[in-house]
Each structure stands twice: as C-alpha cells, then as structure tokens.
Amino acid sequence: MRFVISVIFFLVFFSCGDAYDPLDPTGNITIKWDVMSWTPDGYVAVVTMNNFQMYRHIMSPGWTLGWTWAKKEVLWSMVGAQTTEQGDCSKFKGNIPHCCKKNPTVVDLLPGVPYNQQFQNCCKGGVLASWGQDPASSVSAFQVSVGLAGTSNKTVKLPKNFTLLGPGPGYTCGPAKIVPPTNFLTTDRRRKTQALMTWNVTCTYSQFLARKHPSCCVSFSSFYNDTITSCPSCACGCENKNKCVKSDSKLLSVVGVNTPRKDNAPLLQCTHHMCPIRVHWHVKQNYKEYWRVKVAITNFNYRMNYTLWTLVVQHPNLNNVTQVFSFDYKPLVPYGSINDTGMFYGMKFYNDLLMEAGPFGNVQSEVLLQKDQNTFSFKQGWAFPRKVYFNGDECMLPSPDTYPFLPNSARRNIFGFSTVIYSMILVLIGFW
C-alpha cells in the first residue's frame, strides 16, 4: 500500500512539473498589448498585465518583463514603467529613444513618481495582488511608443520570447497571439472605442522552475495527543545551514541586520527545517457539532516582511467553514463541485503584514468548522490538511506516519483510501 502511495505521489510530483497547479488550474498572468494609434514610424500601445492567479501575487521588488523585438524596433518613450538599460542608441541624432536594445527589460516605476510619468494602474513598484485577494490591485499597466515598427495591422510584427520574473524565476510565457481587439468605454459610458490591434501573452508559474526546495513547511498538533509533529528536517534544504543565525545571537542586535538585500537573499533563523515559513495546524477543540482549529504562520527570515501574504489549505471539511476569527477567508472552488480548498489572508491594517522573524514574526487565527457527521473523524489524520500553500508555493507536510494519532486508533493507512483516489484524480487531470 505504501509503495502504491509513493508511486502516486511521484507521478503527481512530475505531472505538476509543467506549470500546472491543481488548486488553480486556470491561474495565469496575461500580458495584453493594445495598439491605440499608429505613428509615422510605428505605434503607441498600452501594455496591461493581469494577474489571474487566485492566490499567487508578485511581491516587492516586483515584476520584470522582457521580450525580443521581431525586427529593428526601438522604444521611443514609455509612460508608467521604464527599461533597466537604454542600450546603444548611437545611430540616432536629435531625438534619442528611451531604449534601443533588441531585448528590452522593463520594470514598474515606484509609487510617488511625478504625475507626468504616471499611467493608470502603474507605479506600484511592480507589486501585483492575487486575483482572489484583491482583483482591483491585480493589474499593472504602462504605455509604450514603438518606432521602426510596422504601421498597420498587416506590417506590425509581434514581439517574441516574453520573459517574466515575479520577482524570481518560475514563470514561463507562451508566444504572443493576436486576439479580438479590446473594447473601451468612454468615461461617460456612452461611447465604445476599440484598439487598432490586440495581442495577448499568457505566462504560467511552476514551483519546480522557481526553486529546488519548498519554501515553507507544515507542523501539526492536537488536543488528543501530546505529540507535536514538527516540520520534516531540512524540508527547505540544508545547504545554507552554516549561514543561519540562532534566535539568541548577538548578531541580531546589530543595526541593519534586517535590511533586505538587493538579491533578496534571506537571513534565516537556525531551525532543523531551515524554512523561511512554517505553518502550524493545531486541532484545538471538539464540540458536538463543531470542531476548532488554530492556524499559525511563523516567519523565520530576518530580512523579509511578507505583505499581502496568502495561505491556501485543502481539507475536506472546508465546505463547512462556520467562522474564521482573525483572517479573511475565501473558498476556492477550482472544479465547481469539490469545495475542499480555501484561501486565508490577512485582514487589512490588522495582520496583512507578516513581520520579519522575531517576536512579531507570526500571525494566527482560529477556524470553526461544522462537522459533517458522515465524514468527520479524528482518526487516521483526517483532521489535518491535505495540501498547504503559502504565497502560492506548496509547503512540505510531515510524513503521514508521524501525524499525531488518536490513542488506540490503528496506525496503519493513516492517509486513508480517499487520498489515494484523490491522488489518482490529480494524476489523471495532470496528464490530461
């Protein structure tokens, strides 16, 4: 039995290798170019980036978008974003383009830039909220004026090889595709205009491209057993074990120790799991018709504040969440009928910021769930989540045979038959 389970998990692991997230099967970031006008030597386009991922946002220092021009195009100017390098514009006299590189690299502007450099939905330092958490903040846009390009929808050549860092690796972008032109409503909503030409690029995320190890782990405890099942050892890789700092180290009082690095290199507290994030799920109380769970997220990175954090949990009883005490909660129903996944996130201005490691580096909440008498059980690890994601990355769970178990309950087959069926469904969907 255990062998079968291992094989299934192995298959699930590899079927997920191709940017497929079973809990958000249509999640993607779409980059849309709307050509708004033709110019003597090219066009002006509005580039809009929409994050359609339910629970994966782009954190500070934000996105970086790149592409390769199909011909000898140049960027005369940009509003609401900028390229990181100008490149060689030596053959231009008089008007010097904003960027002459064959493969420009674009970043967002920071909040507070002068009004004449702003564009609607720009200038957020490249931060994009997830669709599930805040659709209004899940969009970023800027305007480009392209020269030495085609000047009609027959002669324009679409840019190629789009790349997206969000802010690290993990995204893969498909080719640009011509789509029906976008319609725009005037502000009084009485007139409709349309883009002269529109193309879309879709980028999807794969955790396996992003990093070698998970970036979070899960630990468990329960009221019915004193055992605390801690995170697996080296869950997030132990290569940097010699660079971690002990929580009582004098180093931590040095000024500037918390300052984030340009490359975002973490400074981790020494733990046996070496994860920047730990999620703890405690089965706290049992009532006649309800049960109560306490969820705590702890930050072990001294150099990172997590803004707009999200926690996704898959558990069969999430179809009956009665109350979530100090997080916001939203059910995610990726397959329409299976309501077993939900997203927790911080309440605005209360705990939407998960502070750097230390005394304030944690957020917690309690969840009250109504029992479905047919399926509810404390046996065989049923009360623990099947999958946990922090900020869109899947966290490593303890091995099923270490879950706290009910005194006198059989130890074998803790993961249960339904999980096997579930895994098979995922494998089938993954291959399909």
What does the binding site for ligand NAG look like in residue numbers (CB under 6 A)? 26, 28, 30, 32, 48, 50, 52, 68, 153, 160-161, 178-179, 197, 200, 202, 225, 227, 229, 258, 260, 303-305, 318-321, 331, 333, 339, 355-356, 370, 372-373, 402-405, 407
Q: Which is nearer to ligand NAG, 95 or 373 (CB)?
A: 373
For the bound state, the minimum distance from the C-beta of residue 54 to ligand NAG, rounded and expressed in Å, comes to 8
Nearest to 34 by CA among 182, 175, 160, 145: 182
For the bound state, the minimum distance from the C-beta of residue 114 to ligand NAG, rounded and expressed in Å, comes to 26
Q: Which is nearer to ligand NAG, 11 or 368 (CB)?
A: 368
Both tokens assigned to 325: 């005490």
Q: Which is nearer to ligand NAG, 184 or 238 (CB)?
A: 184
For the bound state, the minimum distance from the C-beta of residue 246 to ligand NAG, rounded and expressed in Å, comes to 18
Q: Which is nearer to ligand NAG, 339 or 364 (CB)?
A: 339
Q: Which is nearer to ligand NAG, 178 or 347 (CB)?
A: 178
For the bound state, the minimum distance from the C-beta of residue 411 to ligand NAG, rounded and expressed in Å, comes to 8
CA angle 306, 112, 307 (to 5 degrees): 10
What does the alpha-carbon distance between residue 354 and residue 302 come to, in Å, rounded to a whole number?
A: 11
For the bound state, the minimum distance from the C-beta of residue 387 to ligand NAG, rounded and expressed in Å, comes to 16
Its sign, for the CA torsion 159, 164, 169, 170, is negative
What does the alpha-carbon distance between residue 187 and residue 118 come to, in Å, rounded to a whole number?
A: 19
Both tokens assigned to 261: 């690095």
Q: Which is nearer to ligand NAG, 305 or 424 (CB)?
A: 305
Q: Which is nearer to ligand NAG, 77 or 402 (CB)?
A: 402
> What's at 354, amino acid-wise?
L
From residue 133, alpha-carbon distances to 97, 206, 369, 395 in Å are 38, 20, 22, 20
What does the alpha-carbon distance between residue 22 and residue 431 come to, in Å, rounded to a whole number?
A: 11
Torsion of CA 242, 248, 254, 258, to 10 degrees: 70
From residue 100, alpha-carbon distances to 77, 404, 429 in Å are 11, 61, 44
For residue 353, the surrounding DSSP H or E stretch is strand 353-354
For the bound state, the minimum distance from the C-beta of residue 64 to ligand NAG, rounded and expressed in Å, comes to 17
Question: Contact at 8 Å (CB) between 88 and 125?
Answer: no
For the bound state, the minimum distance from the C-beta of residue 88 to ligand NAG, rounded and expressed in Å, comes to 17
For the bound state, the minimum distance from the C-beta of residue 302 to ligand NAG, rounded and expressed in Å, comes to 7
Both tokens assigned to 305: 């504040």
What does the alpha-carbon distance between residue 156 and residue 148 come to, in Å, rounded to a whole number?
A: 10
For the bound state, the minimum distance from the C-beta of residue 48 to ligand NAG, rounded and expressed in Å, comes to 5
Residue with tokens 């720009």, as numbered in its chain = 122
For residue 10, the surrounding DSSP H or E stretch is helix 2-15
Q: Which is nearer to ligand NAG, 10 or 272 (CB)?
A: 272
- Residues with Cβ within 8 Å of 413's Cβ and at least 6 positions away in sequence, in order, are 1, 380
Q: Which is nearer to ligand NAG, 28 or 83 (CB)?
A: 28
Both tokens assigned to 66: 């790149």
Residue with tokens 């270490």, as numbered in its chain = 402
For the bound state, the minimum distance from the C-beta of residue 123 to ligand NAG, rounded and expressed in Å, comes to 19
Q: Which is nearer to ligand NAG, 339 or 362 (CB)?
A: 339
